[in-house]
Amino acid sequence: MKRLLTIALTAPAPAFAAGFDRPVPQPQTDVAEFWFLVGSIALILALAAVQWLVARR
């Protein structure tokens, strides 16, 4: 039992985790905004195409 107590008191010392540092959000780049615009337009066109195909049935 003494060994267990000794291990329980000494083992957690190196196991303590460092504090969590929140990542700082980076601003959007112009390239990222362009590709988001392209993706948004493609999504809208795909939804319109599905609507057109479903309406024809």
pTM of the model: 0.54
DSSP code for 1: -
Q: Which long-range contacts (CB under 8 A, 24 or more apart) does 41-48 make?
A: none
Amino acid at 24: V
Phi and psi, residue 40, nearest 5°? -65, -45
Give the residue carrying structure tokens 């066109």.
Answer: 45
- Return the closest-CA partner of residue 56 out of 48, 46, 42: 48
Residue-wise pLDDT for 4-41, tens only, equals 777 776 766 555 667 778 889 889 999 999 999 999 99
